[in-house]
């Protein structure tokens, strides 16, 4: 058995953070969350203002769960109206996960015209077929294959990704960690435009990668659920383009618009029974 370590935390809710729909490779067993992130496999659980964990170092968790983000300041800035304030209170402690950029890109390519259970299933099959076996305290799993490791269109299609296979294969051929790291140094719109040069990467997928892995907290991904919620709550059900919704959200919520998006998405997911 690996040693169980402890770390003190504040303004953090592990369940909201993992189960809100931003991240996919986790499972809950025996009161623990078992989490995969690229080549890491670890477990964590929360007891009040303390995290218990094994399989990774404390500094990794601190970064992974964005515990350095000034959450109270962020929520104060985005809480522009009573509607959103009630949502922030409902899911208080939800933080954006700093995902591995490559794994995040593939995850959101898998999300195209899909749902969360399907995405999770496809990612597990990708890891099983192209990654390496890994184990933690008798629990078996697989690492996530890195750039260039996903090969063969027919083999890839067996993972259930369907038409998305050509996008994933193109990314595996064209993208490496250095490329994704260089994007993080660009201004938001340039970074988004660069990602959208990849096959299959549209506005929503690009914004998800920017927000959930590359540190662009102003990114505001718009899917059909966020679109409906924003139109209903802020535009009297007027039909707007996704670009106009993004522009409004970034002006209205400001530099932390991405946090507003994830709290809103968490509510939409709960109301829809997990999307």
In 133-265 the beta strands, taken as DSSP E runs, fall at 133-136, 139-142
In 78-118 the beta strands, taken as DSSP E runs, fall at none
Q: How many CA atoms lie within 13 A of 63 on its CB side?
A: 11
CA-CA-CA-CA torsion sign (161, 164, 169, 174): negative
Residues in a beta bridge with 258: none
Q: What are 185-224's pLDDT values in tens digits? A: 999 999 999 999 999 999 999 999 999 999 999 999 999 9
Q: Residue 268 — very low, low, confident or very high, per pLDDT cuts 50/70/90?
A: confident
Please give the angle made by the CA atoms of 139, 140 and 145, to the nearest 5 degrees: 140
Residue 274 confidence (pLDDT): 52
Whether 145 contacts 122, CB under 8 Å = no
Q: What are 220-247's pLDDT values in tens digits? A: 999 999 999 999 999 999 999 999 999 9
Residue 219 confidence (pLDDT): 98
CA dist 183 and 72 (Å) reads 28
Q: Which residue has the tokens 């931003």?
A: 22
Whether 156 contacts 169, CB under 8 Å = yes
Q: What are 64-112's pLDDT values in tens digits? A: 999 999 999 999 999 999 999 999 999 999 999 999 999 999 999 999 9
pTM: 0.95
pLDDT at 270 over 90: no
pLDDT at 273 over 70: no
- Closest Cα to residue 38, out of 109, 114, 107? 107
Domains and CATH numbers, the chain: 5-91+100-213 (1.10.340.30)
- Closest Cα to residue 67, out of 97, 23, 37, 99? 97
Longest dimension (CA), the chain: 56
């Amino acid at each position: 058995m690996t040693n169980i370590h402890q770390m003190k935390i504040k303004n953090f809710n592990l369940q909201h953070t993992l189960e809100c729909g931003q991240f996919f490779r986790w499972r809950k067993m025996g009161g623990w969350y078992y989490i995969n992130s690229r080549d890491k496999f670890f477990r964590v659980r929360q007891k009040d203002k303390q995290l218990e964990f094994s399989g990774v170092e404390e500094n990794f968790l601190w970064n992974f769960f964005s515990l350095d983000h000034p959450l109270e300041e962020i929520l104060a800035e985005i809480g522009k109206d009573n509607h959103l304030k009630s949502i922030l209170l409902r899911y208080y402690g939800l933080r954006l996960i700093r995902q591995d950029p490559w794994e995040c890109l593939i995850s959101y390519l898998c999300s195209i015209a899909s749902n969360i259970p399907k995405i999770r299933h496809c990612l597990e099959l990708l890891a099983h077929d192209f990654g390496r076996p890994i184990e933690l305290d008798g629990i078996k799993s697989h690492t996530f294959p890195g750039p260039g490791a996903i090969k063969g269109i027919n083999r890839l299609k067996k993972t259930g990704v369907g038409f998305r296979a050509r996008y994933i294969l193109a990314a595996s051929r064209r993208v490496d960690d250095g490329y994704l790291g260089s994007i993080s140094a660009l201004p938001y719109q340039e970074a988004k435009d660069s990602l959208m040069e990849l096959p299959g990467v549209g506005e929503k997928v690009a914004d998800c990668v920017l927000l959930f892995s590359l540190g662009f907290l102003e990114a505001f991904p718009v899917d059909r659920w966020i679109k409906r919620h924003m139109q209903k709550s802020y535009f009297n059900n007027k039909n707007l383009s996704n670009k106009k919704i993004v522009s409004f959200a970034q002006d209205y919520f400001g530099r932390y618009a991405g946090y507003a998006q994830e709290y809103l998405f968490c509510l939409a997911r709960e109301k829809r029974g997990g999307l």
